[in-house]
A = this chain, B = another copy of it.
Amino acid sequence: MKDMKNRKKYIEEINQQQKALNAIRKKLVGKKLNYKEIYAIMDQISKERLGDILTTYFAASGYSKGFTHQEIYYLTKAMVETGEKLKFKGIVADKHSIGGVPGTRTSLIVVPVIAAAGFLIPKSSSRAITTPSGTADDMEVLAKVQFSKEKIYEIVKKTKGCIVWGGSFSVAPADDIIINVEKPLLFESYDKIVVSIMAKKIAFGSNHVVIDLPYGDSVKIHNFKDAKILQEKFEYVAKKFRIKIRVIIHRTDEPAGRGIGPVLETREAIRVLQQKHNRPLDLEIRSINLAGNLLELCLKSSSKKMQKDTKKNFGNGFGWATQILKEGLAFKKMKEIIREQNGNPNIDSEDLVPGKFSFNILAHKKSSIISIDSNSITTIAKMLGAPEDKGAGIYLNKKKGDKVEKGESMCVLYSENMYNLRIVKQTIKHLKIFEFI
């Protein structure tokens, strides 16, 4: 009897594999897939049955003609269904940046602000895909980021928020496997960005989501038109899953904040949370904008009384977010989260020290900076060792619009080993970080 059952299972498995393979071939030649076909692919990827090569064919199949809205919905659904899910009651907030901009670590600020406001925000974040560091890589400087489902429930119950790695337990497991084959390409399709983010949000139980969607010459999305296309896809999928969403499109030419790389980015975020005098104001403004939007979205689903009180006390969501930050409530909340995530809550921004090997890049002549190249920053920070070496990275002393005198420091490169720094010093002339007038 058992043998019969095993045989049946074996044959079913072979059939499912065949179905996935046929579906990949079908998509490769530009045909549409139905839910069963997409489910077969996600099922086989999530069970690690396809291997790198076939997973890559699938990842590649979406580039040329892309997926239809319905396919994107199916992909998201199948990605969620082939993994585990978290469930919370009531309003569950979340924010996600589509990334591609190095630095700009808003999540470490937005999560404690929202949690301090009293809303649940179980944040799943990714490790670096195209940038030198992801939010999960950064949070790891302060605390652990990989937890079981049970432990995440516990953290969120105690603090209302968490900042954990999205691949912690089996949440949309196909996503992480696909991300692994996207890494060598340093390139993600628009559809995949939507699927990847929404699947993680849905599996984490979020129902109020703000998407931070920057565009610019040297970031992932190059122009406003593409950003609008992406926004529309996000809104379509959100609607299908009854998620309230706000997609915030804005032009970005350079990182918000001055630090690039895990330690340097985290230091910037903690400076904002601590309201230090040396905090990056552009990062603070960006974070308040995102937190404010998310609070407004959550308020819409809240009681009339709460809406009225907020209006009276803070004017709006943005005022509320600002107040939480100014009063140190966000930093207090962040310390709680760090403690629950097994980190040391007695943190000060200046305790975060980058790699011991450094190289100061000086200005050759008096000039003005007209732009900063995010691609070069990413390449250099990776060559320096980020995100594996937490202290590796770049600190920008000068940014767009700044004037520089001859001999002034433009930026400092940090590395945890001499070799990486030497390689970068040898190749830096081919990778322009700054463009001058």
Q: Which A residues contact B (CB, under 8 angstroms)?
A: 7, 11, 14-15, 21, 24-25, 28-30, 51-54, 56-57, 59-61, 63-65, 181, 184-187, 426-427, 430
Contacts and interface: CB of A to CB of B under 8 A. Distances in A.
10 contacts: A25-B187, A30-B65, A53-B184, A53-B185, A54-B184, A56-B56, A56-B57, A56-B181, A57-B59, A61-B63
Contacts of A430: 11, 15
B427 A11 contact: yes
Contact of A60 (B51, B56, B184, B426): B56
Contacts of A28: 60, 63-64, 185, 187
Contacts of A427: 11, 14
B60 A57 contact: yes
Contacts of A64: 28-30, 61, 63-65
Given A11-B430, A30-B63, 12 more contacts: A14-B427, A21-B186, A25-B185, A28-B185, A29-B63, A30-B64, A52-B56, A54-B185, A56-B57, A56-B60, A60-B60, A63-B64
Contacts of A65: 30, 64
Contacts of A181: 53, 56
Nearest to A3: B426
A25 B28 CA distance: 15
Contacts of A21: 185-186
Contacts of A61: 60, 63-64
A31 to B, nearest CB: 10
Q: Which of A24, A60, A181, A187 has the most CB of B within 10 A?
A: A60
A324 B181 CA distance: 54
Contacts of A25: 185, 187
A14 B382 CA distance: 14
**How many copies of this kind of chain does the complex include?**
2
Contacts of A60: 28, 56-57, 60-61
Contacts of A186: 21
Q: Which of A11, A21, A56 has the most CB of B within 10 A?
A: A56
A53 B52 contact: yes
A422 to B, nearest CB: 11
A184 to B, nearest CB: 5
A84 to B, nearest CB: 27
A119 to B, nearest CB: 39
A311 to B, nearest CB: 47
Q: Which of A30, A59, A63 has the most CB of B within 10 A?
A: A63
Q: Which of A25, A53, A59 has the most CB of B within 10 A?
A: A53
A50 to B, nearest CB: 8
A7 B426 contact: yes
A53 B184 CA distance: 7
A7 B429 CA distance: 13
A185 B24 contact: yes
A355 to B, nearest CB: 23
A324 to B, nearest CB: 42
Contacts of A14: 427
Contacts of A15: 430
Nearest to A427: B11
Contacts of A426: 7
A377 B321 CA distance: 67
Contact of A52 (B52, B59, B187): B52
A194 B56 CA distance: 23
Contacts of A54: 184-185
User: Lowest 9 CB-CB distances: which A-B pairs, in order?
Assistant: A60-B60, A64-B64, A56-B56, A28-B63, A30-B64, A53-B184, A53-B56, A57-B60, A54-B184
A119 B226 CA distance: 60
A427 B184 CA distance: 38
A29 B60 CA distance: 9
A420 to B, nearest CB: 14
A64 B427 CA distance: 37
Contacts of A184: 51, 53-54
